[in-house]
Amino acid sequence: MNRFGRMNSSITADTFDVQKIRRDFPMLQQRIADGRPLIYLDTGATAQKPQAVINKITECLEQYNANVHRGVHALHERVTGELEAARAKIGAFLNVRELDELDQLDDVSEVIFTSGTTMSINLVAQAWGRNHLSPGEEILLNSLEHHANIVPWQMVAAATGAVIRWLPLTTTGELDLEQLDAFLTRRTKMVALTAMSNVLGTITPVREIITRAHDVGALVLVDGAQSVPHMPTDAQALDADFLAFSGHKLYGPTGIGVLYGKLEHLEAMSPFLGGGNMIDDVFDDHSTYKRPPFKFEAGTLPIAEAIGLGAAIDYVQSIGWTAIHEQERQLLTACHAELSKIPGVTIHGPDIGHKGAIVSFTVDGVPAHDLGTNLARHGIAIRASHHCAKPLHRWLNVDATARASFAFYNTVEEVQALAEAIRQARKTFRLPG
Ligand X SMILES: Cc1ncc(COP(=O)(O)O)c(C=O)c1O
* Residue 246 in contact with ligand X, rule: CB under 6 A: yes
Residue 194 Cβ vs ligand X, minimum distance, rounded to whole Å: 5
Applying CB under 6 A, among 43, 80, 194, 410 the residue interacting with ligand X is 194
Q: How many CA atoms lie within 13 A of 361 on its CB side?
A: 28
Return the number of the residue (223 or 338) whose C-beta is nearest ligand X: 223
Residue 254 Cβ vs ligand X, minimum distance, rounded to whole Å: 8
Return the number of the residue (127 or 263) whose C-beta is nearest ligand X: 127
Return the number of the residue (378 or 386) whose C-beta is nearest ligand X: 386
Segment contacting ligand X by CB under 6 A, of 145-153, 232-240, 398-406, 425-433: 145-153
Segment contacting ligand X by CB under 6 A, of 142-150, 168-176, 355-363, 415-423: 142-150
* Residue 148 in contact with ligand X, rule: CB under 6 A: yes
Return the number of the residue (230 or 426) whose C-beta is nearest ligand X: 230
To the nearest 10 degrees (0 to 180), the angle between helices 412-428 and 321-340 is 30
Residue at 266: amino acid letter: L
* Residue 203 in contact with ligand X, rule: CB under 6 A: no
CB 99 within 8 A of CB 342: no
CA dist 79 → 50, 169, 226, 254, 280 (Å): 22, 47, 29, 19, 22
Please report which helix (H) or strand (E) contains residue 293, including its range.
Answer: none
Question: What is d(CA 89, CA 318) in angstroms, rounded to the nearest whole number?
Answer: 13
CB 386 within 8 A of CB 399: yes
Give the DSSP letter string of 377-392: TTTEE-EEE-TT-HHH
* Residue 362 in contact with ligand X, rule: CB under 6 A: no
Residues 403-432 that bind ligand X (CB under 6 A): none
* Residue 233 in contact with ligand X, rule: CB under 6 A: no
* Residue 143 in contact with ligand X, rule: CB under 6 A: no
* Residue 204 in contact with ligand X, rule: CB under 6 A: no
Return the number of the residue (109 or 149) whose C-beta is nearest ligand X: 149
Total of chain residues touching ligand X, rule CB under 6 A: 12
11: exposed, middle or buried (Cβ count in 10 Å: 0-12, 13-18, 19+): middle
Return the number of the residue (254 or 424) whose C-beta is nearest ligand X: 254
Please report which helix (H) or strand (E) contains residue 192, including its range.
Answer: strand 188-194
Q: How many CA atoms lie within 13 A of 335 on its CB side?
A: 30
All residues at 6 or more sequence positions from 223 whose CB lies less than 8 Å from its CB, including other chains: 117, 121, 145, 146, 148, 149, 192, 193, 194, 195, 244
Residues 9-68 that bind ligand X (CB under 6 A): none
Per annotation, catalytic residue among 54, 66, 388, 412: 388
* Residue 225 in contact with ligand X, rule: CB under 6 A: yes
* Residue 116 in contact with ligand X, rule: CB under 6 A: yes
Q: Please report which residue ranges of 64-146 form alpha helices under DSSP H.
A: 74-93, 99-103, 117-123, 129-132
* Residue 117 in contact with ligand X, rule: CB under 6 A: yes
Segment contacting ligand X by CB under 6 A, of 5-13, 80-88, 114-122, 423-431: 114-122
CA-based nearest residue to 242, from 212, 274, 210, 273: 210
Q: Note if 60 is an active site residue.
A: no
CA angle 122, 196, 271 (to 5 degrees): 20
* Residue 198 in contact with ligand X, rule: CB under 6 A: yes
| Catalytic residue IDs | 388
Which residues are at the interface with ligand X (CB under 6 A)? 116-118, 146, 148-149, 194, 198, 223, 225-226, 246
